[in-house]
Chains A and B, each alone.
Chain A
Amino acid sequence: QSALTQPASVSGSPGQSITISCTGTSSDVGSYNLVSWYQQHPGKAPKLMIYEGSKRPSGVSNRFSGSKSGSTASLTISGLQAEDEADYYCCSYAGSSTSVFGGGTKLTVL
């Protein structure tokens, strides 16, 4: 179970859109539509932003969206706001009732 690959950092200015990629393999991201995305502020528990690839939980802004192409999933945040600055993690089902996280991406709002 190798960790999914995410960029270490991304940045954007308020109002812009950014995309965070999450690359896996044909054994995880490529085989299942079960990628989830989490936002984590320092010292806090992770917060679910996207589940089952593209679904938003109740209460999550529609500025957050998820998609997938092949073995790469993506999280797009539009209309970037200062409070979006946080760490973001992807997670995918990896078969045999196991899951695997990405290494995390630090989003900086300039």
Chain B
Amino acid sequence: QVHLVQSGAEVKKPGASVKVSCKASGYTFTSYYIHWVRQAPGQGLEWMGVINPSGGSTNYAQKLQGRVTMTRDTSTSTVYMELSSLRSEDTAVYYCARNAVHYSSSWYGSDGSDIWGQGTVVTVSS
């Protein structure tokens, strides 16, 4: 059974950083890109970035450049998303999601995400 399990809810003050984890199981961790997507309360989905768990290469949404960092630990099949300089607008549910297509068959690692984590609520409040 393929799963992505995320870390628990976080409450942070403005200006702080948050690091959310996403542990993969049931498949070869290094064979599928992982995307991060967030959803503010009552709002739509927002793409944040993507990481290639094999080599660790990343690409981020222009809006978040300089504040977001995605990393991975192949020994534990876990990817991390860290967001710094938090502001109230960063309050959202954060999801990790696996690209549906094996990296060897994927042109850009952005074919669609078939497995999603349960979501992590991040609240930014003073």
Task: Find out whether the CB atom of B110 lies under 8 angstroms from the CB atom of A57.
Answer: no
**Chain B, range 67-126, C-beta contacts under 8 Å to A:** 95, 97, 100-101, 107-114, 116-119
In the complex, per-residue mask of A75-97: 1 if CB is within 8 Å of any chain B CB, else 0: 00000000000000101010011
Task: Find out whether the CB atom of A97 lies under 8 angstroms from the CB atom of B47.
Answer: no
Q: Cβ of A1 < 8 Å from any Cβ of B? A: yes
How many chain A residues touch B (CB < 8 A): the figure is: 28
Known: A1-B62, A98-B61, A99-B50. A52 touches B116 (CB 8 A): no
Known: A45-B119, A91-B47. A97 touches B110 (CB 8 A): yes
Task: Find out whether the CB atom of A34 lies under 8 angstroms from the CB atom of B111.
Answer: yes
Task: Find out whether the CB atom of A102 lies under 8 angstroms from the CB atom of B111.
Answer: no
Task: Find out whether the CB atom of A48 lies under 8 angstroms from the CB atom of B47.
Answer: no
Task: Find out whether the CB atom of B113 lies under 8 angstroms from the CB atom of A48.
Answer: yes
Task: Find out whether the CB atom of A97 lies under 8 angstroms from the CB atom of B112.
Answer: no
| Number of A-B residue pairs having CB atoms within 8 Å of each other in the complex | 77
Taking a contact as CB atoms closer than 8 A, the residue among A47, A96, A101 that contacts B45 in the complex is A101
Closest B residue to A46 by beta carbon equals B116
What is the minimal beta-carbon distance from B85 to any residue of chain A, in angstroms? 20
List residues of A whose CB falls within 8 A of some B CB: 1, 3, 32, 34, 36, 38, 40, 45-48, 50-52, 55, 57, 89, 91, 93, 96-104
List residues of B whose CB falls within 8 A of some A CB: 35, 37, 44-47, 50, 59, 61-63, 95, 97, 100-101, 107-114, 116-119
Having A50-B112, A91-B45, A99-B35, one finds 18 other A-B pairs with CB under 8 Å, namely: A34-B111, A36-B111, A36-B112, A45-B117, A45-B118, A46-B97, A46-B113, A51-B114, A55-B112, A57-B112, A89-B44, A91-B112, A98-B62, A98-B110, A99-B50, A100-B47, A101-B37, A103-B44
Sampled A-B contacts (6; CB under 8 Å): A45-B118, A46-B37, A50-B112, A57-B114, A98-B62, A99-B50
